[in-house]
Structure 1
Amino acid sequence: MSVTICDGKDVQDFLRVVANLDGGGGNERAKKIVHRILSDLFKTIEDFDLTPDEIWAGINYVNKLGSEGEAALLAAGLGLEHYIDLRLDAEDKELGITGGTPRTIEGPLYVAGAPVAEGKARLDKNPDPDAAPLRIHGTVTGPDGAPVAGALVEIWHSDSKGFYSHFDPTGRQSEFNLRGAIRTGADGRYEALTKMPASYGCPPSGSTQTLLNLLNRHGNRPAHVHFFVTTDKFRKLTTQFNIEGDPLIWDDFAFATREGLIPHIVEKNDGRSVGFDEDAYRDIEFNLELTPLVHGKDNQVVNRARAAA
Protein backbone atom coordinates (compact mmCIF):
# COMPACT_ATOMS: atom_id res chain seq x y z
CA MET A 1 0.00 0.00 0.00
CA SER A 2 2.93 2.32 0.87
CA VAL A 3 1.02 5.38 2.05
CA THR A 4 2.10 7.89 4.67
CA ILE A 5 -0.70 9.26 6.79
CA CYS A 6 0.45 8.62 10.38
CA ASP A 7 1.90 12.08 10.99
CA GLY A 8 -1.05 13.86 9.41
CA LYS A 9 -3.55 15.85 11.43
CA ASP A 10 -6.43 13.44 10.82
CA VAL A 11 -4.58 10.43 12.29
CA GLN A 12 -3.03 12.44 15.11
CA ASP A 13 -6.45 13.81 16.07
CA PHE A 14 -7.90 10.30 15.81
CA LEU A 15 -5.25 8.94 18.22
CA ARG A 16 -6.18 11.59 20.77
CA VAL A 17 -9.85 10.60 20.48
CA VAL A 18 -9.09 6.87 20.83
CA ALA A 19 -7.12 7.48 24.06
CA ASN A 20 -9.61 10.18 25.16
CA LEU A 21 -6.71 12.51 25.88
CA ASP A 22 -8.92 15.59 25.79
CA GLY A 23 -11.88 14.09 27.64
CA GLY A 24 -12.64 14.11 31.33
CA GLY A 25 -12.59 11.21 33.78
CA GLY A 26 -10.65 8.01 33.51
CA ASN A 27 -7.03 7.52 34.48
CA GLU A 28 -4.78 10.21 33.04
CA ARG A 29 -1.66 8.05 33.18
CA ALA A 30 -3.45 5.20 31.38
CA LYS A 31 -4.63 7.60 28.69
CA LYS A 32 -1.09 8.83 28.01
CA ILE A 33 0.33 5.31 27.95
CA VAL A 34 -2.35 4.02 25.56
CA HIS A 35 -1.82 7.05 23.33
CA ARG A 36 1.92 6.42 23.20
CA ILE A 37 1.56 2.69 22.52
CA LEU A 38 -1.01 3.21 19.76
CA SER A 39 1.06 6.02 18.22
CA ASP A 40 4.11 3.76 18.09
CA LEU A 41 2.02 0.88 16.72
CA PHE A 42 0.45 2.98 13.96
CA LYS A 43 3.89 4.32 13.04
CA THR A 44 5.29 0.76 12.91
CA ILE A 45 2.46 -0.32 10.61
CA GLU A 46 3.21 2.58 8.32
CA ASP A 47 7.02 2.30 8.38
CA PHE A 48 6.94 -1.44 7.54
CA ASP A 49 3.92 -1.14 5.25
CA LEU A 50 2.13 -3.94 7.08
CA THR A 51 -0.76 -5.48 5.17
CA PRO A 52 -4.17 -6.12 6.73
CA ASP A 53 -3.37 -9.84 6.61
CA GLU A 54 -0.18 -9.25 8.61
CA ILE A 55 -1.97 -7.05 11.13
CA TRP A 56 -4.65 -9.66 11.73
CA ALA A 57 -2.02 -12.39 11.93
CA GLY A 58 -0.52 -10.41 14.79
CA ILE A 59 -3.88 -10.07 16.52
CA ASN A 60 -4.51 -13.80 16.13
CA TYR A 61 -1.05 -14.45 17.58
CA VAL A 62 -1.90 -12.39 20.68
CA ASN A 63 -5.12 -14.39 21.11
CA LYS A 64 -3.21 -17.68 20.87
CA LEU A 65 -0.51 -16.43 23.24
CA GLY A 66 -3.14 -15.61 25.86
CA SER A 67 -5.05 -18.85 25.43
CA GLU A 68 -1.82 -20.80 26.01
CA GLY A 69 -0.91 -18.74 29.07
CA GLU A 70 2.52 -17.92 27.62
CA ALA A 71 2.55 -14.13 27.95
CA ALA A 72 4.95 -14.21 30.92
CA LEU A 73 7.16 -16.73 29.09
CA LEU A 74 7.32 -14.45 26.06
CA ALA A 75 8.14 -11.49 28.35
CA ALA A 76 11.23 -13.40 29.46
CA GLY A 77 12.16 -14.51 25.95
CA LEU A 78 11.92 -11.01 24.48
CA GLY A 79 14.07 -9.59 27.25
CA LEU A 80 11.30 -7.55 28.91
CA GLU A 81 11.89 -9.15 32.30
CA HIS A 82 15.64 -8.61 32.04
CA TYR A 83 15.05 -4.99 31.02
CA ILE A 84 13.06 -4.48 34.22
CA ASP A 85 16.10 -5.75 36.15
CA LEU A 86 18.37 -3.35 34.27
CA ARG A 87 16.10 -0.44 35.21
CA LEU A 88 16.08 -1.56 38.85
CA ASP A 89 19.89 -1.76 38.76
CA ALA A 90 20.05 1.79 37.45
CA GLU A 91 17.58 2.95 40.09
CA ASP A 92 19.73 1.38 42.82
CA LYS A 93 22.77 3.19 41.44
CA GLU A 94 20.96 6.51 41.64
CA LEU A 95 19.91 5.71 45.23
CA GLY A 96 23.49 4.79 46.15
CA ILE A 97 22.56 1.17 46.94
CA THR A 98 25.49 -1.17 46.31
CA GLY A 99 26.28 -4.80 47.04
CA GLY A 100 23.74 -7.52 47.57
CA THR A 101 23.20 -10.72 45.66
CA PRO A 102 22.44 -9.85 42.02
CA ARG A 103 18.78 -9.82 41.17
CA THR A 104 17.49 -11.65 38.12
CA ILE A 105 14.20 -12.66 36.58
CA GLU A 106 11.46 -14.52 38.44
CA GLY A 107 10.12 -16.41 35.44
CA PRO A 108 6.53 -17.68 35.12
CA LEU A 109 6.64 -20.87 37.23
CA TYR A 110 6.50 -19.80 40.88
CA VAL A 111 3.69 -21.28 43.00
CA ALA A 112 2.69 -19.63 46.27
CA GLY A 113 1.86 -21.65 49.36
CA ALA A 114 4.80 -24.02 49.72
CA PRO A 115 5.04 -25.50 53.23
CA VAL A 116 7.44 -23.61 55.50
CA ALA A 117 10.23 -25.47 57.31
CA GLU A 118 12.55 -24.14 59.99
CA GLY A 119 16.18 -23.99 58.90
CA LYS A 120 16.20 -27.09 56.67
CA ALA A 121 13.83 -28.75 54.22
CA ARG A 122 13.69 -31.81 51.97
CA LEU A 123 12.25 -30.68 48.62
CA ASP A 124 12.21 -33.88 46.54
CA LYS A 125 8.91 -35.63 47.17
CA ASN A 126 9.01 -37.92 44.13
CA PRO A 127 11.68 -40.43 43.08
CA ASP A 128 13.76 -39.24 40.13
CA PRO A 129 16.51 -41.78 39.34
CA ASP A 130 17.88 -39.57 36.56
CA ALA A 131 18.73 -36.73 38.96
CA ALA A 132 21.60 -36.77 41.44
CA PRO A 133 21.03 -35.60 45.02
CA LEU A 134 21.77 -31.91 45.53
CA ARG A 135 22.35 -30.00 48.76
CA ILE A 136 21.87 -26.23 48.60
CA HIS A 137 22.81 -24.21 51.65
CA GLY A 138 24.02 -20.81 52.72
CA THR A 139 23.55 -17.82 54.98
CA VAL A 140 21.21 -14.87 54.53
CA THR A 141 22.95 -11.66 55.59
CA GLY A 142 22.19 -7.96 55.59
CA PRO A 143 24.36 -5.22 54.07
CA ASP A 144 26.62 -5.28 57.15
CA GLY A 145 27.28 -9.00 56.79
CA ALA A 146 25.31 -9.91 59.93
CA PRO A 147 23.03 -12.96 59.63
CA VAL A 148 19.33 -12.28 59.14
CA ALA A 149 17.03 -14.30 61.38
CA GLY A 150 13.45 -15.01 60.29
CA ALA A 151 14.07 -14.56 56.56
CA LEU A 152 11.85 -16.72 54.34
CA VAL A 153 13.89 -18.43 51.61
CA GLU A 154 11.63 -19.85 48.89
CA ILE A 155 13.19 -22.25 46.38
CA TRP A 156 11.80 -23.87 43.24
CA HIS A 157 13.27 -25.69 40.24
CA SER A 158 12.64 -28.32 37.57
CA ASP A 159 13.03 -32.09 37.68
CA SER A 160 15.41 -34.13 35.48
CA LYS A 161 13.01 -33.81 32.53
CA GLY A 162 12.86 -30.02 32.76
CA PHE A 163 9.32 -29.94 34.18
CA TYR A 164 8.07 -28.08 37.26
CA SER A 165 5.48 -29.44 39.67
CA HIS A 166 2.03 -27.85 39.17
CA PHE A 167 2.98 -27.24 35.50
CA ASP A 168 4.13 -30.75 34.55
CA PRO A 169 2.15 -31.92 31.48
CA THR A 170 2.80 -35.56 32.44
CA GLY A 171 1.04 -35.12 35.79
CA ARG A 172 3.61 -37.33 37.53
CA GLN A 173 4.85 -34.84 40.13
CA SER A 174 3.28 -34.39 43.55
CA GLU A 175 2.16 -31.02 44.84
CA PHE A 176 5.16 -28.85 45.73
CA ASN A 177 7.69 -31.37 44.50
CA LEU A 178 11.05 -29.56 44.24
CA ARG A 179 9.56 -26.51 45.91
CA GLY A 180 9.92 -25.32 49.47
CA ALA A 181 10.14 -22.41 51.89
CA ILE A 182 12.73 -22.28 54.67
CA ARG A 183 12.74 -19.86 57.62
CA THR A 184 16.21 -18.91 58.80
CA GLY A 185 17.15 -19.12 62.46
CA ALA A 186 19.35 -16.81 64.51
CA ASP A 187 22.37 -17.88 62.45
CA GLY A 188 20.67 -16.81 59.20
CA ARG A 189 21.28 -20.21 57.65
CA TYR A 190 19.09 -22.23 55.31
CA GLU A 191 19.55 -25.73 53.87
CA ALA A 192 17.64 -27.60 51.17
CA LEU A 193 18.04 -31.25 50.21
CA THR A 194 16.77 -31.80 46.69
CA LYS A 195 17.66 -33.21 43.25
CA MET A 196 19.68 -31.74 40.40
CA PRO A 197 17.54 -29.70 37.99
CA ALA A 198 17.82 -30.00 34.21
CA SER A 199 17.93 -27.54 31.34
CA TYR A 200 14.73 -27.23 29.32
CA GLY A 201 13.07 -25.33 26.50
CA CYS A 202 9.86 -23.56 25.63
CA PRO A 203 6.93 -25.73 24.48
CA PRO A 204 7.99 -26.46 20.88
CA SER A 205 4.56 -25.73 19.39
CA GLY A 206 3.74 -22.83 21.70
CA SER A 207 3.39 -19.17 20.78
CA THR A 208 6.71 -18.16 22.36
CA GLN A 209 8.75 -20.64 20.34
CA THR A 210 6.77 -19.73 17.20
CA LEU A 211 8.00 -16.15 17.45
CA LEU A 212 11.52 -17.19 18.43
CA ASN A 213 11.65 -19.35 15.30
CA LEU A 214 10.92 -16.26 13.20
CA LEU A 215 13.88 -14.57 14.90
CA ASN A 216 16.07 -17.67 14.40
CA ARG A 217 16.50 -17.95 18.18
CA HIS A 218 16.35 -21.03 20.39
CA GLY A 219 14.07 -21.14 23.43
CA ASN A 220 16.28 -23.05 25.84
CA ARG A 221 17.39 -22.33 29.40
CA PRO A 222 20.36 -23.71 31.37
CA ALA A 223 19.63 -25.75 34.49
CA HIS A 224 18.93 -23.32 37.33
CA VAL A 225 17.34 -22.86 40.77
CA HIS A 226 14.99 -19.98 41.66
CA PHE A 227 14.91 -18.00 44.92
CA PHE A 228 12.73 -15.48 46.71
CA VAL A 229 14.12 -14.12 50.00
CA THR A 230 11.68 -12.09 52.05
CA THR A 231 12.02 -10.32 55.40
CA ASP A 232 10.53 -7.20 56.93
CA LYS A 233 14.02 -5.87 57.71
CA PHE A 234 15.39 -5.64 54.14
CA ARG A 235 14.23 -5.58 50.53
CA LYS A 236 12.89 -8.71 48.89
CA LEU A 237 15.42 -10.52 46.70
CA THR A 238 14.35 -12.29 43.51
CA THR A 239 17.17 -14.28 41.97
CA GLN A 240 18.31 -17.65 40.65
CA PHE A 241 21.59 -19.44 40.15
CA ASN A 242 22.70 -21.50 37.17
CA ILE A 243 24.24 -24.94 37.46
CA GLU A 244 27.97 -24.69 36.87
CA GLY A 245 29.12 -26.30 33.61
CA ASP A 246 25.82 -26.08 31.77
CA PRO A 247 26.63 -25.15 28.15
CA LEU A 248 23.70 -22.73 27.99
CA ILE A 249 24.78 -20.57 30.93
CA TRP A 250 25.71 -17.63 28.70
CA ASP A 251 23.17 -18.51 26.02
CA ASP A 252 19.97 -18.39 28.07
CA PHE A 253 16.96 -17.47 25.95
CA ALA A 254 15.50 -15.64 28.99
CA PHE A 255 18.66 -13.56 29.61
CA ALA A 256 18.73 -14.45 33.32
CA THR A 257 22.44 -15.24 33.70
CA ARG A 258 24.42 -12.66 35.68
CA GLU A 259 27.90 -12.57 37.17
CA GLY A 260 27.85 -13.88 40.73
CA LEU A 261 25.03 -16.34 40.06
CA ILE A 262 27.06 -19.41 39.04
CA PRO A 263 28.14 -21.04 42.31
CA HIS A 264 30.73 -23.80 42.41
CA ILE A 265 29.58 -27.43 42.69
CA VAL A 266 31.43 -29.71 45.11
CA GLU A 267 31.16 -33.50 44.82
CA LYS A 268 30.71 -35.06 48.27
CA ASN A 269 30.29 -38.55 49.73
CA ASP A 270 28.75 -38.11 53.18
CA GLY A 271 25.15 -37.90 51.99
CA ARG A 272 23.59 -40.08 54.66
CA SER A 273 25.05 -37.90 57.38
CA VAL A 274 23.30 -34.80 55.98
CA GLY A 275 19.95 -36.54 55.34
CA PHE A 276 20.13 -38.17 51.90
CA ASP A 277 19.38 -41.82 51.24
CA GLU A 278 22.78 -42.34 49.60
CA ASP A 279 26.32 -41.12 50.11
CA ALA A 280 27.25 -39.43 46.82
CA TYR A 281 25.73 -36.01 46.24
CA ARG A 282 26.51 -32.55 44.90
CA ASP A 283 26.89 -29.59 47.21
CA ILE A 284 26.29 -25.91 46.39
CA GLU A 285 26.88 -23.10 48.85
CA PHE A 286 24.85 -20.06 47.83
CA ASN A 287 24.94 -17.17 50.28
CA LEU A 288 22.32 -14.46 49.95
CA GLU A 289 23.04 -10.82 50.77
CA LEU A 290 20.04 -8.52 51.11
CA THR A 291 19.89 -4.77 50.51
CA PRO A 292 18.38 -2.00 52.66
CA LEU A 293 14.84 -0.68 52.57
CA VAL A 294 14.33 2.64 50.77
CA HIS A 295 12.93 5.22 53.19
CA GLY A 296 11.59 2.33 55.24
CA LYS A 297 9.83 0.69 52.29
CA ASP A 298 10.51 -2.36 50.13
CA ASN A 299 10.53 -1.17 46.52
CA GLN A 300 11.37 -4.64 45.17
CA VAL A 301 7.98 -6.28 45.71
CA VAL A 302 6.45 -6.92 42.29
CA ASN A 303 2.71 -7.44 41.96
CA ARG A 304 1.98 -9.88 39.15
CA ALA A 305 -0.30 -12.83 38.55
CA ARG A 306 1.14 -15.97 40.16
CA ALA A 307 -0.12 -19.51 40.62
CA ALA A 308 -1.10 -20.60 44.12
CA ALA A 309 -1.96 -23.91 45.76
Structure 2
Amino acid sequence: MENFSHFLITRFNLNLYERDKHAAPTRTARWLEHRFEVFERYCLPSVAAQTATDFRWLCLFDAATPEPYRRRIASYRAVCPRFEAVYYTAAQTACLTESLRGTIRSVLAAEHGSTPPPHGLLITTNLDNDDALASDAIELLRREIRPCPGKRIYSLLYGYQYFTSERFLLKMRYTNNHFLTLVEPFDDRVETIIAYRHTRAIRQQPTVYISSPHGKWLEIVHEDNVSNDLRINAKVRNIPVLRGRTFSDFGLPELRVTARRQWFQTLFLLPVRFLVTGAKRLRGKRARLRRK
Protein backbone atom coordinates (compact mmCIF):
# COMPACT_ATOMS: atom_id res chain seq x y z
CA MET A 1 0.00 0.00 0.00
CA GLU A 2 1.40 3.37 -1.02
CA ASN A 3 0.66 7.01 -0.27
CA PHE A 4 -0.87 6.76 3.17
CA SER A 5 -0.47 8.42 6.56
CA HIS A 6 -1.20 6.41 9.72
CA PHE A 7 -1.94 8.03 13.08
CA LEU A 8 -2.54 6.32 16.40
CA ILE A 9 -4.90 8.54 18.43
CA THR A 10 -5.08 8.58 22.25
CA ARG A 11 -7.38 10.93 24.14
CA PHE A 12 -5.59 11.20 27.46
CA ASN A 13 -7.23 13.70 29.83
CA LEU A 14 -9.41 15.87 27.62
CA ASN A 15 -12.51 17.21 29.33
CA LEU A 16 -14.82 14.57 27.88
CA TYR A 17 -16.07 12.53 30.85
CA GLU A 18 -16.99 13.98 34.23
CA ARG A 19 -17.38 10.67 36.11
CA ASP A 20 -15.92 7.17 36.03
CA LYS A 21 -17.85 3.88 36.23
CA HIS A 22 -18.25 4.30 40.01
CA ALA A 23 -19.67 7.85 39.58
CA ALA A 24 -16.46 9.29 41.07
CA PRO A 25 -15.19 12.55 39.50
CA THR A 26 -12.51 12.30 36.84
CA ARG A 27 -9.58 14.69 36.27
CA THR A 28 -8.85 15.02 39.99
CA ALA A 29 -5.21 14.93 41.14
CA ARG A 30 -5.58 11.32 42.29
CA TRP A 31 -7.34 10.25 39.09
CA LEU A 32 -4.70 11.93 36.93
CA GLU A 33 -1.78 10.37 38.81
CA HIS A 34 -3.31 6.92 38.49
CA ARG A 35 -3.92 7.43 34.79
CA PHE A 36 -0.28 8.31 34.23
CA GLU A 37 0.82 5.24 36.18
CA VAL A 38 -1.40 2.92 34.13
CA PHE A 39 -0.32 4.60 30.88
CA GLU A 40 3.37 4.15 31.69
CA ARG A 41 2.88 0.54 32.81
CA TYR A 42 0.81 -0.75 29.88
CA CYS A 43 0.08 1.64 27.04
CA LEU A 44 3.43 3.37 26.43
CA PRO A 45 5.60 0.20 26.37
CA SER A 46 3.19 -1.56 24.02
CA VAL A 47 3.33 1.25 21.43
CA ALA A 48 7.11 1.57 21.80
CA ALA A 49 7.37 -2.17 20.98
CA GLN A 50 5.46 -1.99 17.68
CA THR A 51 7.19 -3.83 14.84
CA ALA A 52 5.82 -1.29 12.33
CA THR A 53 7.43 2.12 12.74
CA ASP A 54 5.93 4.25 9.97
CA PHE A 55 3.11 5.75 12.02
CA ARG A 56 2.71 8.72 14.34
CA TRP A 57 1.15 8.64 17.78
CA LEU A 58 -0.86 11.72 18.67
CA CYS A 59 -1.60 11.80 22.40
CA LEU A 60 -4.18 14.48 23.19
CA PHE A 61 -3.89 16.30 26.52
CA ASP A 62 -5.88 19.06 28.19
CA ALA A 63 -4.14 22.42 27.91
CA ALA A 64 -4.69 22.77 31.67
CA THR A 65 -2.50 19.74 32.44
CA PRO A 66 -0.26 20.76 35.39
CA GLU A 67 3.40 21.55 34.67
CA PRO A 68 4.85 18.56 36.59
CA TYR A 69 2.88 16.24 34.31
CA ARG A 70 3.95 18.20 31.23
CA ARG A 71 7.57 17.47 32.16
CA ARG A 72 6.68 13.80 32.56
CA ILE A 73 4.97 13.84 29.16
CA ALA A 74 8.04 15.40 27.54
CA SER A 75 10.08 12.35 28.58
CA TYR A 76 7.90 9.89 26.64
CA ARG A 77 9.48 10.75 23.29
CA ALA A 78 12.70 9.11 24.48
CA VAL A 79 10.78 5.88 25.16
CA CYS A 80 8.73 5.99 21.95
CA PRO A 81 10.05 8.26 19.14
CA ARG A 82 6.65 8.15 17.40
CA PHE A 83 4.97 9.80 20.41
CA GLU A 84 3.79 13.39 20.00
CA ALA A 85 1.93 15.33 22.70
CA VAL A 86 -0.85 17.67 21.57
CA TYR A 87 -2.52 20.11 24.00
CA TYR A 88 -6.10 21.23 23.37
CA THR A 89 -8.07 23.94 25.12
CA ALA A 90 -11.68 23.35 26.19
CA ALA A 91 -12.84 25.14 23.03
CA GLN A 92 -10.69 22.91 20.81
CA THR A 93 -11.93 19.81 22.62
CA ALA A 94 -15.52 20.89 22.02
CA CYS A 95 -14.91 20.58 18.25
CA LEU A 96 -12.47 17.69 18.48
CA THR A 97 -12.80 16.30 14.96
CA GLU A 98 -12.04 19.67 13.43
CA SER A 99 -9.15 20.27 15.84
CA LEU A 100 -7.60 16.88 15.13
CA ARG A 101 -7.97 17.36 11.39
CA GLY A 102 -5.98 20.59 11.66
CA THR A 103 -3.35 18.95 13.88
CA ILE A 104 -2.80 16.10 11.42
CA ARG A 105 -2.38 18.52 8.53
CA SER A 106 0.07 20.61 10.56
CA VAL A 107 2.13 17.54 11.55
CA LEU A 108 2.39 16.37 7.95
CA ALA A 109 3.19 19.87 6.67
CA ALA A 110 6.00 20.22 9.21
CA GLU A 111 7.37 16.79 8.33
CA HIS A 112 7.02 16.83 4.55
CA GLY A 113 6.51 20.46 3.66
CA SER A 114 2.95 19.75 2.48
CA THR A 115 -0.08 17.61 3.23
CA PRO A 116 -0.51 14.38 1.22
CA PRO A 117 -1.23 14.67 -2.51
CA PRO A 118 -4.68 13.80 -3.90
CA HIS A 119 -5.78 10.15 -3.70
CA GLY A 120 -3.80 9.51 -0.51
CA LEU A 121 -5.29 7.59 2.42
CA LEU A 122 -5.58 8.62 6.04
CA ILE A 123 -5.51 5.75 8.56
CA THR A 124 -6.44 6.50 12.18
CA THR A 125 -6.48 3.93 15.00
CA ASN A 126 -7.96 4.54 18.45
CA LEU A 127 -6.04 3.53 21.58
CA ASP A 128 -7.22 4.47 25.06
CA ASN A 129 -4.54 5.63 27.48
CA ASP A 130 -5.03 2.66 29.81
CA ASP A 131 -4.95 -0.10 27.18
CA ALA A 132 -2.29 -1.83 25.07
CA LEU A 133 -1.66 -3.30 21.61
CA ALA A 134 0.17 -6.46 20.61
CA SER A 135 3.58 -5.60 19.17
CA ASP A 136 2.53 -6.64 15.66
CA ALA A 137 -0.97 -5.11 15.77
CA ILE A 138 -0.20 -2.13 13.51
CA GLU A 139 1.82 -4.33 11.15
CA LEU A 140 -1.13 -6.75 10.91
CA LEU A 141 -3.55 -3.90 10.24
CA ARG A 142 -1.42 -2.62 7.41
CA ARG A 143 -1.19 -6.03 5.76
CA GLU A 144 -4.98 -6.26 5.75
CA ILE A 145 -5.87 -2.73 4.63
CA ARG A 146 -6.82 -2.40 0.97
CA PRO A 147 -7.42 0.88 -0.88
CA CYS A 148 -11.09 1.31 -1.70
CA PRO A 149 -13.52 4.11 -2.50
CA GLY A 150 -15.09 5.80 0.49
CA LYS A 151 -14.51 5.05 4.15
CA ARG A 152 -13.98 1.70 5.82
CA ILE A 153 -13.65 0.46 9.41
CA TYR A 154 -11.17 -2.27 10.36
CA SER A 155 -11.72 -4.24 13.56
CA LEU A 156 -9.15 -6.48 15.25
CA LEU A 157 -11.69 -9.06 16.32
CA TYR A 158 -9.91 -10.81 19.21
CA GLY A 159 -8.34 -9.29 22.30
CA TYR A 160 -8.11 -9.62 26.07
CA GLN A 161 -9.42 -8.06 29.25
CA TYR A 162 -7.05 -7.98 32.21
CA PHE A 163 -8.61 -7.32 35.63
CA THR A 164 -5.85 -5.74 37.69
CA SER A 165 -7.34 -6.24 41.14
CA GLU A 166 -7.85 -9.98 40.62
CA ARG A 167 -4.92 -10.47 38.21
CA PHE A 168 -7.29 -12.34 35.95
CA LEU A 169 -7.30 -12.62 32.15
CA LEU A 170 -10.25 -13.12 29.83
CA LYS A 171 -10.11 -13.48 26.05
CA MET A 172 -12.79 -11.74 24.00
CA ARG A 173 -14.30 -11.81 20.55
CA TYR A 174 -15.60 -8.27 20.31
CA THR A 175 -16.83 -6.91 16.98
CA ASN A 176 -17.28 -3.24 17.89
CA ASN A 177 -14.36 -2.94 20.30
CA HIS A 178 -12.71 0.42 21.01
CA PHE A 179 -9.47 -0.36 19.12
CA LEU A 180 -11.05 0.36 15.73
CA THR A 181 -9.27 1.79 12.70
CA LEU A 182 -10.80 4.10 10.09
CA VAL A 183 -9.38 4.22 6.56
CA GLU A 184 -10.59 7.15 4.45
CA PRO A 185 -9.52 9.29 1.50
CA PHE A 186 -7.32 12.16 2.66
CA ASP A 187 -9.37 15.16 1.61
CA ASP A 188 -11.07 18.16 3.22
CA ARG A 189 -13.78 15.93 4.71
CA VAL A 190 -11.60 13.58 6.77
CA GLU A 191 -13.24 12.59 10.04
CA THR A 192 -10.70 10.30 11.81
CA ILE A 193 -11.76 7.42 14.04
CA ILE A 194 -12.64 9.75 16.94
CA ALA A 195 -15.70 10.94 15.02
CA TYR A 196 -17.25 7.50 15.61
CA ARG A 197 -18.51 5.92 18.83
CA HIS A 198 -17.10 2.42 18.79
CA THR A 199 -20.48 0.97 19.79
CA ARG A 200 -22.04 2.31 16.57
CA ALA A 201 -19.16 2.53 14.09
CA ILE A 202 -19.64 -0.88 12.47
CA ARG A 203 -23.23 0.09 11.62
CA GLN A 204 -22.16 3.41 10.09
CA GLN A 205 -19.40 2.25 7.72
CA PRO A 206 -18.50 -0.98 5.90
CA THR A 207 -16.36 -3.02 8.29
CA VAL A 208 -13.58 -5.55 7.77
CA TYR A 209 -12.97 -7.98 10.64
CA ILE A 210 -9.41 -9.17 11.16
CA SER A 211 -9.23 -12.49 12.94
CA SER A 212 -6.05 -13.96 14.41
CA PRO A 213 -5.41 -16.93 16.73
CA HIS A 214 -4.01 -14.63 19.42
CA GLY A 215 -5.68 -11.46 20.71
CA LYS A 216 -4.17 -8.23 19.37
CA TRP A 217 -5.36 -5.77 22.02
CA LEU A 218 -5.46 -5.65 25.79
CA GLU A 219 -8.15 -3.79 27.73
CA ILE A 220 -7.04 -3.01 31.28
CA VAL A 221 -9.93 -3.13 33.77
CA HIS A 222 -8.93 -1.10 36.82
CA GLU A 223 -10.53 0.98 39.55
CA ASP A 224 -10.66 4.25 37.60
CA ASN A 225 -12.05 3.12 34.24
CA VAL A 226 -14.69 5.46 32.89
CA SER A 227 -16.84 2.50 31.78
CA ASN A 228 -14.78 -0.65 31.13
CA ASP A 229 -15.83 -3.75 33.05
CA LEU A 230 -16.94 -7.28 32.29
CA ARG A 231 -18.89 -6.97 29.06
CA ILE A 232 -22.27 -8.67 28.84
CA ASN A 233 -23.90 -8.09 25.48
CA ALA A 234 -24.60 -9.80 22.18
CA LYS A 235 -21.56 -8.24 20.48
CA VAL A 236 -19.12 -9.92 22.87
CA ARG A 237 -18.11 -13.54 23.33
CA ASN A 238 -16.05 -14.10 26.46
CA ILE A 239 -13.56 -16.96 26.15
CA PRO A 240 -11.94 -18.41 29.30
CA VAL A 241 -8.12 -18.59 29.32
CA LEU A 242 -7.22 -21.77 31.19
CA ARG A 243 -3.46 -21.67 30.80
CA GLY A 244 -0.65 -19.40 31.85
CA ARG A 245 0.27 -16.53 29.58
CA THR A 246 2.98 -13.92 29.38
CA PHE A 247 2.65 -10.64 27.48
CA SER A 248 6.12 -10.23 26.03
CA ASP A 249 4.40 -10.08 22.64
CA PHE A 250 2.79 -6.83 23.86
CA GLY A 251 6.08 -5.34 25.02
CA LEU A 252 5.00 -6.17 28.61
CA PRO A 253 7.32 -8.97 29.80
CA GLU A 254 6.47 -8.41 33.47
CA LEU A 255 2.75 -9.01 32.92
CA ARG A 256 1.87 -12.69 33.29
CA VAL A 257 -0.90 -14.92 34.58
CA THR A 258 -0.58 -18.49 35.86
CA ALA A 259 -2.70 -21.48 34.85
CA ARG A 260 -3.61 -22.21 38.48
CA ARG A 261 -4.90 -18.70 39.06
CA GLN A 262 -6.76 -18.68 35.74
CA TRP A 263 -8.60 -21.91 36.61
CA PHE A 264 -9.53 -20.65 40.06
CA GLN A 265 -10.72 -17.25 38.88
CA THR A 266 -12.66 -18.74 35.96
CA LEU A 267 -14.51 -21.19 38.20
CA PHE A 268 -15.19 -18.85 41.14
CA LEU A 269 -14.59 -15.18 40.27
CA LEU A 270 -16.12 -15.03 36.79
CA PRO A 271 -19.64 -16.21 37.78
CA VAL A 272 -19.71 -13.79 40.72
CA ARG A 273 -18.48 -10.90 38.57
CA PHE A 274 -21.06 -11.77 35.93
CA LEU A 275 -23.89 -11.58 38.49
CA VAL A 276 -22.61 -8.35 40.07
CA THR A 277 -22.16 -6.65 36.69
CA GLY A 278 -25.60 -7.82 35.53
CA ALA A 279 -27.20 -6.44 38.70
CA LYS A 280 -25.48 -3.07 38.24
CA ARG A 281 -26.68 -2.88 34.66
CA LEU A 282 -30.21 -3.70 35.70
CA ARG A 283 -30.21 -1.03 38.44
CA GLY A 284 -28.84 1.53 36.01
CA LYS A 285 -31.49 0.69 33.44
CA ARG A 286 -34.27 1.01 36.02
CA ALA A 287 -32.89 4.37 37.21
CA ARG A 288 -32.89 5.69 33.63
CA LEU A 289 -36.44 4.53 33.12
CA ARG A 290 -37.57 6.28 36.31
CA ARG A 291 -35.94 9.54 35.18
CA LYS A 292 -37.93 9.37 31.97
TM over 0.5: no
> Which structure has greater strand proportion?
2
TM-score (norm 1): 0.23
TM-score (norm 2): 0.24
> Which structure has greater helix proportion?
2
